[in-house]
Amino acid sequence: MSEKENLKIDNNFTPVEYDPQYILQVNALKKYFPIKGGMISHTVGYVKAVDGVTFNLKRGSTMGLVGESGCGKTTAGRTILRLSGEKTGGQVLFNGKEVYDMSKKEMRELRTKMQIIFQDPFSSLSPRLPVGEIIGEAVREHNIVPKAEFNDYIDSARVFRRSEAENLYCKGTRAKP
């Protein structure tokens, strides 16, 4: 096999048709990073960080992507959300629309509905910020509530979480809060 054939990226896959039971359809997703070499820094190979990932996510459900360290979980999530530049191949359909065909405005809206949450709370949460402030950053950034209602929204989230925790505690112990 020649060097040029070795560098060719195979992007042959059978496109999926939109199925309304799924909010997210990922089909044969690829994200390769070029390995540069030589005097003129040309591509000599690829790191195949994500290579042919396929899954469907039903509406109203949550998905966890699990795997060994360095297997491409974060890169897959970042590629689905278009946070890692262009995909190398495959399809990412959100509500039947190709994510890589969406405008910047549509992507900003999409990112309020689809997020990456990392398992390690120490890398995801700042110990210097209260949880309300951490939640508030996303609410403020994506204009989820009007500025005038922001503090009430955060306060209601805190009250809900506290009452939810009390209910769980009380159910387990049969005690009243």
pLDDT the model gives residue 153: 77
pLDDT band at 168 (very low <50, low <70, confident <90, very high): very low
Question: Are residues 91 and 14 part of one domain?
Answer: yes
pLDDT the model gives residue 131: 65
What is the mean pLDDT of the segment spanning 41-46?
90
What is the mean pLDDT of the segment spanning 55-73?
87
CATH of the domain at 7: 3.40.50.300
Question: Are residues 77 and 28 part of one domain?
Answer: yes
**Total number of domains constituting the chain:** 2
Question: Are residues 101 and 131 part of one domain?
Answer: no
Q: Spell out the residues 6+ positions from residue 103 whose beta carbon is closer than 8 angstroms to its own.
A: none
pLDDT, one tens digit per residue, over 84-134 is: 999 999 999 999 999 999 999 999 888 888 878 776 656 656 667 666 677
Q: Spell out the residues 6+ positions from residue 25 whose beta carbon is closer than 8 angstroms to its own.
A: 16, 18, 19, 56, 57, 91, 92, 93
pLDDT of 158 above 70: no
Q: d(Cα 164, Cα 124) in Å, to the nearest integer?
A: 22
Q: d(Cα 133, Cα 71) in Å, to the nearest integer?
A: 32
Question: Are residues 115 and 129 part of one domain?
Answer: no
Question: Are residues 23 and 107 part of one domain?
Answer: yes
Tell me the C-alpha to C-alpha distance, in Å, between residue 98 and each of 32, 57, 107.
Answer: 19, 15, 11
Residue 172, domain extent: 125-177
